[in-house]
Structure 1
Amino acid sequence: MKAITIHQPWATLITLEEKQFETRSWATKYSGPIAIHAGKKVDKEICLEEPFRSVLAEHGFTADNLPTGAVVAICQLGECHEVMADFGNYALIAEDRFYIGAQEYHFGNYESGRYAWELLSVKPIDPVPAKGQQGLWNWGGERDASRT
């Protein structure tokens, strides 16, 4: 199964279905099942900012108890949309003029020319320890995850 490593708290926000798009500087043509790997890096400062702090707290998380170094969810990678314009508090993605606003906007980097990867059907799993990698990588632990 393909996997992607995402720093915390963003990996947890995806797992909690509070974040629907992962923003990247590069596009992918891949679509299909993907494992969400929480990297070992936690941005503790952003965890104190709004809306991060309140959304994490709503689910019982702080910067100190986020899972790291583990696959935390399985989902479907849908379409990869180019960010067409960033207006400072909302963004326009894809040529079909789909707007990203409010909380979702704050949970990503929607600078023009970046890409928003749509994450669908997120299924949280009990964390499965794994070493992450840059880019899309192959995760061999999906058999263990299917038992959770």
Structure 2
Amino acid sequence: MSHACPVQNCSSQVASHLYMCPRHWRMVPKPLQTAVYESYQKDGRVSVNHREAVRVVEAAEAGRSAIKLPPGTRALTIYQPWASLIMIGAKPYEFRRWDFSLLPALAKLVGQRIVIHASVRRPSLDELNDILDRIEQGESALKADLAEPLVRQMSAAVGAKVADLHMAPLGVALGTAVIGQPRRVVDIFKGAVADSDRLDEHMFGWPLASIEPFPQPVPAAGAQGFWSWS
């Protein structure tokens, strides 16, 4: 037994024990996936959670259709506030513990435009305050004049337990950037510079330039590493 994927214009047939085709299901944020599972286990029927999952996917598909990017464009999921800091030009490097250009399949990304996607992970107040402390102490790779206002605004919102972090939204694609040749951090900075508390990951800086924000954030589930946007 099978049924059609409930997402509009999707012709995929889905096994009876699944709700959506695999491609669209991967676009549903993990918390909503869990809610879909739990409501079906409880009631044995399609619920408001199922309908919300379809709405989220269709909104994401509509957003992707409106943005013309070449086939094969890759995306990179980044925690907030880092993703939004990239989009405002305050974070010129993404720091990781590996050099992606050493992998033949990824080396071709150097000089290419990638999608910057914000993770669904909500930053803690301690994390945000640590960023502000590092900026004040001159130990940050961020552009302080651009970064500090956004981080302070976000810190206030998180401290007040505001649900909607509109200044740095979660679980959405924010825009694109051109990714450059990774460089060792010791070759980039003369002093000890770190813009998060995960110092062991500050081995390579991935340059991000020519930032182009989307007109509106596009809902997307994201994934680890580089993943296929189109």
Same fold (TM over 0.5): yes
Conservation of the 8 A alpha-carbon contact between 1:10 and 1:107: no
Q: 1:33 to 1:18 in 2, by over 3 A?
A: same
Q: 1:112 to 1:138 in 2, by over 3 A?
A: closer
Q: 1:121 to 1:113 in 2, by over 3 A?
A: closer
Q: Distance in 2 between matches of 1:55 and 1:106?
A: 19
Aligned pair count reads: 125
Q: CA deviation at 1:48?
A: 3.0
Q: Specify the code of the residue in structure 1 equivalent to 2:224.
A: Q
1:13 equivalent in structure 2? 85
More helix by share: 2
1:88 equivalent in structure 2? none
Q: Deviations over 1:95-135 (max 9, x none)?
A: xxx32669xx4425564872110001011122001110001
> What RMSD, in angstroms, separates the aligned Cα atoms of the two structures?
2.6
Q: Distance in 1 between matches of 2:181 and 2:116?
A: 16
1:122 equivalent in structure 2? 211
Q: Percent identity?
A: 30
Answering whether residue 76 of structure 2 is matched by residue 4 of structure 1, we say yes
Which structure has the bigger radius of gyration? 2
- Structure 1 range deviating more: 13-22 or 110-119: 110-119
Q: Deviations over 1:42-85 (max 9, x none)?
A: 22222234149833157x544441211110020100111123xx
Answering whether residue 135 of structure 2 is matched by residue 54 of structure 1, we say no
1:28 equivalent in structure 2? 100
- Structure 1 range deviating more: 2-11 or 111-120: 111-120
Q: Specify the code of the residue in structure 1 equivalent to 2:79.
A: H
What residue ranges of structure 1 are gaps of 5+ in the alignment? 84-91, 141-148
More strand by share: 1
State the TM-score, normalizing by the size of structure 2.
0.48
2:183 equivalent in structure 1? 81
What residue ranges of structure 2 are gaps of 5+ in the alignment? 1-72, 102-108, 136-143
Q: Distance in 2 between matches of 1:100 and 1:13?
A: 23
Conservation of the 8 A alpha-carbon contact between 1:74 and 1:124: yes
- 1:68 partner SS: coil
For CA contacts below 8 A with separation 6 or more, give which structure has more relative contact order.
1
